Amino acid sequence: MGKKKQPMYKIVAVDSRTKRDGRFIDAVGAYNPATNPMTITLKEDRVFHWLERGAQPTDTVKNLLSRKGVWLKWGLKKKKADDATIAAEFEKWQMMQGLKLQKENERNARRNAAKKKKKAAAQEAPAQPAEAPAPAAPAQP
């Protein structure tokens, strides 16, 4: 999926015996890294369906599931947690993600401000005339 220099990926359930780009069983989501912030869409019910049947997500898909909180929900479901506990833990996780995103944005703003300040200082330095070097003292015979 996607175009040249504009990647977009499907998240699919595939039989492990098929080719890498072969037929897939079920499309469970999509991932678009080109947007800011990146877009991840998932059909949670289908993801849980395949995980319950023994699907093994790749490391990349596991990271994407973690970013959406689906992997957290899956871990709680495996521990036989009730729906209220899962909802409470997910709500807590979402709040932490919001704080994490806010801190990251603040850090990026500080970095950009420091870069602008450094660039402005670099532009001012050559603009100022360099002081003429002091004349050398004549050599004594």
Residue 134 resides in a domain: no
Question: Which domain, by its residues, includes 52?
Answer: 1-68
**Same domain, yes or no: 41 and 88:** no
Q: What is the pLDDT of residues 26-42, one digit of tens each?
A: 889 999 999 888 899 99
**Same domain, yes or no: 61 and 86:** no
**Same domain, yes or no: 63 and 86:** no
Residue 76 resides in a domain: no
- 7-46 in b/e form (b: 16+ CB < 10 A) is eebebebbeeeeeeeeeeeeebbbbeeeeeeeebebeeee
Q: Which has more confidence, 17 or 70? A: 70
Q: What is the pLDDT of residues 1-28, one digit of tens each?
A: 778 888 989 999 888 888 877 788 888 9
Q: What is the pLDDT of residues 73-129, one digit of tens each?
A: 999 999 988 889 999 999 999 999 989 989 989 999 999 999 998 888 888 876 555
